[in-house]
Structure 1
């Protein structure tokens, strides 16, 4: 974080439009990165607690797309679409996420994967077009809790893989 001349933290230009969630996962970053890049893994953990995911199409490359449906625990289906805008294995993934291609309210997310000893610190920084869209995502769609639950699901999934590898 940079600071201003008065020694106070300088707020980023997008701070009022962003949600930042991070978590330490007890697995090497290459493994955590792969769990984000292969649909066979994503479909096992993606989404908040109680949600499941059905993939329609998936191509992990810059410009590639992931079309999927998230199924809520109450039976509601949510059409989702992601296109990958930058990929730097195993450090960074950037994407545009909306309900469908061309969604005017799509938001940008950047995921970073930092080594933390033998573990990985993952940070998900999401930037919305407006403060109002950010507030709506946080209040109406519980984006902060949902993001935390999604990273918790990822941590549990990757930990299971690590344990199976140690056993087998």
Structure 2
């Protein structure tokens, strides 16, 4: 078993913090039990992403997940929702393998928030900082922090996934 991914007692639980750092920005921080390479892949490979992103407690079903994680590439997530499915989509504007991702959130039209995620490996674990920057205070006020508040459960699920992947996963 690799150091930092888990132990016989299970993975170390880390706290997720959610902080509104300005009128336009919300920052989520969490240390994940795995190397930056695997954490980055969990964000950029659809077959992994769909296994951890949606908090199980929300009872939502992810119908499809398409990820083309390259600058100019797009993502599209479609969720079951009554009466019709709901899609979230955008474009990757920055991709630095194992260290940084940034994408637009376009489902609300032009001028939606931009999400940036950094990955900093420390002793086999990865500090993930997810920043959601909105075009205005009003846009952030309207969006609220519900989605980012749910990231704690999503990150718990990511920790669980990484234990199953171990060091042998990845490309």
Confirm or deny a common fold (TM above 0.5): yes
Counterpart of 2:123 in structure 1 is 117
Q: 1:148 and 1:98, CA in 2 relative to 1: closer, same or farther beyond 3 A?
A: farther
Q: 1:136 and 1:160, CA in 2 relative to 1: closer, same or farther beyond 3 A?
A: farther
What is the CA-CA distance between 1:114 and the residue it aligns to? 0.4
Q: Could you say what secondary structure the match of 1:44 adopts?
A: coil
Root-mean-square deviation (CA), in Å?
A: 2.5
In 2, Cα distance between equivalents of 1:75 and 1:41: 28
Q: 1:58 and 1:148, CA in 2 relative to 1: closer, same or farther beyond 3 A?
A: same
Structure 2 unpaired stretches of 5+: 1-20
Counterpart of 1:93 in structure 2 is 101
What is the CA-CA distance between 1:75 and the residue it aligns to? 7.9
Q: Decide whether the 8 Å contact of 1:84 with 1:94 is kept in 2.
A: yes
In 2, Cα distance between equivalents of 1:152 and 1:22: 13
What is the CA-CA distance between 1:67 and the residue it aligns to? 1.6
Q: Decide whether the 8 Å contact of 2:27 with 2:129 is kept in 1.
A: yes
Q: TM-score, normalised by structure 1?
A: 0.75
Q: TM-score, normalised by structure 2?
A: 0.74
Establish whether residue 71 from structure 1 lines up as the match of residue 71 from structure 2: no
Greater helix proportion: 1
Q: How many residue pairs end up in the alignment?
A: 147
Residue by residue, what CA displacement relative to the aligned partner does 1:22-73 show, whole Å, maximum 9, x if unpaired?
Answer: 111111110101111111111111223333323264322111111221236x
Counterpart of 2:4 in structure 1 is none
